[in-house]
A and B are shown apart, each in its own frame.
Chain A
């Protein structure tokens, strides 16, 4: 591990902001680079040889949001492909990619079912752990695809957010010992491992070698989005296992993580809901300004936490205890009660079981553990699941009966 980090290895590495660190002779402190273990898993070969990451971010804890990928992540996108290949060569490359991986282009804009492409596993080995009260299952990666109203059986209108689970596969399991070695006591529980899950297969020509190496072990095509989930060892899954919307049950409470909508640099009226100033009566050039920011005397400065203009949105947020009211198994869509799911239409979110045990009313032992295997289910899966009090549009209109 340390041999790869020697300063003699010279490489250019461009950060997300376009700042080029070239021929850097100094390596940062080793404890910072130790985080690389998360992806490397203690092996030298994961990045296909050697690479240096020389970045120090002392201010990273102060900032609310980051505009570039984290330094522990492998660089993802390739530079622009300017190889002048003939059409024959391109079709040859495509053929090789298809022979290796099978179909690799998942287009979320097109009409798709969200079903995972064929897994490279010949046979999925079910090393099934037994459910225990404190065990944690994996989550899934989903796209927010829109909001529309539905009604309950009392005729009450509600808004539902649609999340599509798109082409999800398990990439890797990292056991608790490795997590302990790399992260120490960062997690509240010491007995958890990590599960890497990827969504939406893509063309391997678009990515860097470092990124592609992450998929070498599982034999999967590269995924557009990777996420990790905290799991207990009894909930571990074999790399290559597909995940479906039926991973969850209707009526279950889930937690949703994602980035909020990016509003850019906004004034105080939009960002904090200030009132602004009057439109007339002698007011000039300050109709949308915040006004006074503090008093004089000892307070004669901007106090920390003052509401000021600045960047709004694009921040990592989590929603707790959201109810799944309906599941479409054909298109792998989860219907979440309420319009509160963060992000624009088309943005990625991760969905996992809730940790709010006091609120969850469902018996957790009935939830498929460690995940749902559709090929094992004896009965045919119905196309849609509804919460009992949700109105199904195939039913006749709602009629109230008079009390006698």
Chain B
């Protein structure tokens, strides 16, 4: 545990760099779908958004950066920018982009159920890499409740199917539990440490030394300024020597120390072939691929403008409850 902290959890110095990347992504998405936008809607939409409550997310540097950009896209919708951070905070409100599974009515009904559930339980903002504590009622446990603490290594699924996986090392054994986010047996979800990592999922922690995924069950939630941007942990994990659970060399991992000495020459050759065949280098220029695998910006705006008022109310009540909590003096970790 102590060793883990020595790697440091300082905020990412180049956060502006990352946020610029994010805003570029938003730009390209808006650009791909600009032809279908009706400019007459813009004024009405902005008026509607001014009336309603907004989430206090202006402090996110995403907005300020994109506003300062001199080469701004003239077709950019102000509403889209307002709701841009929502897709990171509430990713499960966006439906599965696979076209053959989409249906507007079902998506709406699912969203209504999700909001109903959120009015009964505080589902905090969390990301892959955050440390969570989940309490759920268990018929077979003594006291009828069970608590698990661990690092979130994966978030998957959308809407009512959304799930997250927690990993911890208990008595020398790696334990992973996948929870349904909207499972009604969950009594409490607490984010003990809110931070992001450099990768989309941290499944490679299975092949890392146990200290990277060991967390005490009596961990105290860290205090943080709710308006501050979410820190990004640039920790580089050192993987165990092979054999691994997966071919991590194919995954283009950012949060892992260089493991090229682990690879044999035939693996290097195969890696290069794979990169060529998968379009590894050219995939980032494939606009249609991005368009098919994501929900268009207009639809995101439509969805979030529908639910944001209720979400804002819920977050407000969440903050009230937070203020009511008794102050716990943070302990020194080093």
- Which residues of A pack against B, CB within 8 Å? 109-112, 114, 145-146, 148-151, 154-155, 157, 162, 164, 328, 331, 333, 344-346, 391-402
Contacts and interface: CB of A to CB of B under 8 A. Distances in A.
A149 B185 contact: no
B105 A111 contact: yes
Nearest to B187: A397
Given A155-B137, A328-B109, A397 B104 contact: no
A111 B159 CA distance: 17
B301 to A, nearest CB: 15
Given A393-B182, A397-B185, A145 B160 contact: no
B109 A162 contact: yes
Interface string B47-67: 000000000000000000000
Contact of B161 (A148, A154, A396): A148
Contact of A333 (B109, B120, B137, B138): B109
B112 to A, nearest CB: 9
A331 B143 CA distance: 41
B184 A111 contact: no
B195 interface: no
Given A393-B113, A393-B116, A394-B120, A345 B185 contact: no
Contacts of A328: 109
B188 to A, nearest CB: 9
Contacts of B138: 400
Given A109-B103, A149-B160, 14 more contacts: A110-B104, A111-B104, A145-B105, A148-B110, A149-B161, A151-B183, A151-B185, A331-B109, A393-B184, A394-B119, A396-B120, A397-B184, A399-B144, A401-B144
Nearest to A392: B116
A381 B187 CA distance: 32
A396 B139 CA distance: 17
Contacts of A397: 120-121, 137, 184-187
15 contacts: A148-B106, A148-B161, A149-B180, A151-B185, A154-B139, A155-B139, A155-B183, A164-B105, A331-B109, A344-B100, A346-B103, A393-B117, A394-B119, A398-B184, A400-B144
B285 interface: no
Interface string B182-219: 11111100000000000000000000000000000000
A49 to B, nearest CB: 41
Interface of B: 100-106, 108-110, 113-114, 116-117, 119-121, 137-139, 143-144, 159-161, 180, 182-187
Contacts of B182: 393
B185 A111 contact: no
A26 to B, nearest CB: 45
Contacts of A109: 103-104
Contacts of B104: 109-112
Contacts of A402: 143-144
A157 B186 CA distance: 13
A153 B114 CA distance: 17
B286 to A, nearest CB: 26
Contact of A146 (B101, B121, B139, B187): B101
Q: Which of A333, A391, A400 has the most CB of B within 10 A?
A: A400
